Amino acid sequence: MALQVYTASLLKEGLVAYLSLKDGVPSWTADIREATADTADRLDSLKAAAESAEQDNIVVAPYVIDVLETENGWKAATKREQIRAEGPSFALPQDSSTAHRSDESRRAA
């Protein structure tokens, strides 16, 4: 049975996030490799945590995706979800002179 993880967009930031559940404590991470994965028949506690995060206005529209196990941890199964996990598939336009707000400082939750 395929492994699955919960993903959503963070309400405040709009950024992609994955649900991690450690010792029953939920958190949302930008890194799909840190997500908690399970088979479809054992998703109940993840589902409950995702739905309560939606109700608490932390995330928007959570849903499950299939993941594959690789040497580096979970990888999304579809092209769309791979791009969602990793960002656009090319270097973003950038000025050499300007320092932007880094991704890290924008990732919350």
Partner 1 sequence: MYQYSEQDHQLLLERVEQFRGQVQRRLSGQLSEDEFKQQRLRNGLYLQLHAYMLRVAIPYGLLSAEQMRTLAHIARKYDKGYGHFSTRQNIQYNWPQLEDVPDILDDLAAVEMHAIQTSGNCIRNTTSDPLAGVARDEIEDPRPYCELIRQWSTFHPEFNFLPRKFKIAVSGAIGDRAAVAVHDIGLRLVEGPEGENGFEIYVGGGLGRTPMIGKLIRPFLPKEDMLTYLEAILRVYNQLGRRDNLYKARIKILVHETGEEKFRELVEEEWQKIKATGLYLREQDVERIKGFFKDPDYETLPDTDAEFENQLLSNPEFARWADKNIELHKQSGYRVVYLSLKSANQPPGDVTADQMDAVADLADKYSLGQIRTTHRQNLVLSDVKLQDLPALWQELKALDLATPNYNHVTDIISCPGLDYCALATARSIPISKAITDRFDDYDFVNDLGDVSINISGCINACGHHHVANIGILGVNKKGEEVYQLTLGGSAREDASIGKIIGPAFDADQIVDAIGDVLNVYLENREEPEETFLATYRRLGQDPFKERLYG
Q: What is the rounded CA–CA span in Å between residue 44 and residue 33?
A: 20
Q: Based on CB atoms, which residue is closest to partner 1, 70 or 98?
A: 98
Complex with partner 1: residue 40 or 108, whichever CB lies closer: 108
Tokens of 48: 């409950």
Q: Determine if 2 is a binding residue for partner 1 (CB under 8 A).
A: no
Give the number of other Cβ atoms within 10 Å of residue 47's Cβ.
13
Size of interface with partner 1, in residues (CB under 8 A):
29
> Alpha-carbon distance 31 to 16, whole Å?
9
- Which residue in 44, 101, 104, 105 binds partner 1 (CB under 8 A)? 101
Site string for partner 1, 38-77 (x = CB under 8 A): ------------------xx--xx----------------
In which residue are the tokens 């908690």 written? Answer: 36
